[in-house]
Amino acid sequence: MLEELKKCEICPYKCKVNRLEKSGNCNATDKLEISLVSLHSFEEPCMSGKNGSGTIFFTHCNLHCMFCQNYEISQLGKGRRVSIEELANIMISQQEKGAENINLVTPTMYAYHIIEAIKVARKQGLNIPIIYNSNGYESIETLKALEGYIDVYLPDLKYYSDEIAIKYSKAPHYFETATKAIKEMIRQVGSPKFDKNGMIKSGVMIRHLVLPNHIQNTKNILKWINENIPKDIYINVMAQYFPTYRAKEDELLNRKLTKREYKQVEEYFYSLDFENRLYARIRRA
């Protein structure tokens, strides 16, 4: 694991920083950091179920989204250090509390730590699905290293336009990178499979957050998914955006969606016949 951190290329930035000596572009070092562990009831129903999704929020992020709702964790570094053994124990504890799954939130920077923790946890009896809850800005090489350890991939597909990806998240070539990553995820775990209670056991689900004043971005994303992704891959189009962190300073992002914008997205969503192709419906908080 330490070898991968000496010249870090874990994410698409490939900043090549020796994380044993200093932090990378993501602000993470070689030390594993988490900020929050909880049984979360507000994920997709097939993930939360009755008992909740066993979320583990990792500190820092390889994106720099100016509208991040978890910015204290992702951008300001709120959290604490844990060892690989402690992370494995947290996974086991979540399972013992009845968690439907282990939900790794923003895990990219610690992919190799996580692999080692899963190995330890499985020896201790971990047997519930493991979800890789990602911003979509992933390296193919890192995803291949994760093969066999992840049951469910839950990537974002945020941007179609490189211009806004750079402006809002400092993520060059986001669309090209994320779509290749999603295809690799699908290669590994395929379309969603569910147990008798409707809980997801394996597969890929895609999330997209609609941004105000960027409805065409959403339409382009939906069009690409409709034309390029298997019809039984679920998508959750989320319309609950609200301005937080530095988004309040941006004239295009400093408000919620209007009813008109929401209606435009909804009409386009259903014009693509997603509803009848086993895609999750658009939702609004």
pLDDT at 86 > cutoff 90: yes
Rounded mean pLDDT, 212-234: 95
Percent of the chain residues past pLDDT 70, beyond the cut: 96
pLDDT band at residue 248, thresholds of 50, 70 and 90?
Answer: very high
pLDDT of residue 51: 95
Q: Please tell me the pTM assigned to this model.
A: 0.95
Lowest mean pLDDT among 105-109, 185-189, 217-221, 272-276: 272-276
Tokens of 272: 């693509």
Give the residue extent of every domain in the chain: 28-277
Rounded Cα distance, 231 and 281, in Å: 14
pLDDT of residue 2: 73
pLDDT at 161 > cutoff 70: yes
pLDDT of residue 283: 62
pLDDT of residue 142: 98
pLDDT at 273 > cutoff 80: no
pLDDT of residue 263: 93
* 169: Cβ contacts below 8 Å, ≥ 6 apart: 63, 64, 65, 66, 137, 158, 159
pLDDT of residue 189: 98
Question: What is the torsion angle, in degrees rounded to the nearest 10, for the CA atoms of residue 209, residue 211, residue 214 and residue 216?
Answer: 20
Q: What does the mean pLDDT of the chain come to?
A: 94
pLDDT at 213 > cutoff 90: yes
pLDDT of residue 115: 98
pLDDT at 78 > cutoff 90: yes
**Cα-based distances in Å from 234 to 45, 86, 137, 191, 262:** 13, 33, 19, 8, 20
Rounded mean pLDDT, 232-253: 94
pLDDT of residue 60: 97
Rounded mean pLDDT, 232-248: 93
pLDDT of residue 284: 56
Alpha carbon of residue 240 to chain centroid: 16
Rounded Cα distance, 131 and 89, in Å: 17
Q: What is the 3-state secondary structure (H, E, C) of the chain?
A: CHHHHHCCCCCCCCCCCCCCCCCCCCCCCCCCEEEEEEEECCCCHHHHCCCCEEEEEECCCCCCCCCCCCHHHHCCCCCEECCHHHHHHHHHHHHHCCCCCEEEECCHHHHHHHHHHHHHHHHCCCCCCEEEEECCCCCHHHHHHHCCCCCEEEEECCCCCHHHHHHHHCCCCHHHHHHHHHHHHHHHHCCCEECCCCCEEEEEEEEEECCCCCHHHHHHHHHHHHHHCCCCCEEEEECCCCCCHHHHHCCCCCCCCCHHHHHHHHHHHHHCCHHHHCCCCCECC
pLDDT of residue 3: 86
pLDDT at 7 > cutoff 70: yes
Rounded mean pLDDT, 123-140: 98
The tens digit of pLDDT for each residue in 17-42 reads: 999 999 999 999 999 999 999 999 98
pLDDT of residue 285: 47
Rounded mean pLDDT, 188-215: 96
Tokens of 147: 């093969």
Rounded mean pLDDT, 153-179: 98
Token look-up 């979360």 returns: 40
Categorise residue 273: left if φ over 0, alpha if ψ from -120 to 50, beta otherwise.
Answer: left
pLDDT at 279 > cutoff 60: no
Statement: 28-277 belongs to CATH 3.20.20.70: yes
| Nearest alpha carbon to residue 248 among 66, 27, 76 | 66
DSSP lists the bridge partners of residue 105 as: 57, 133
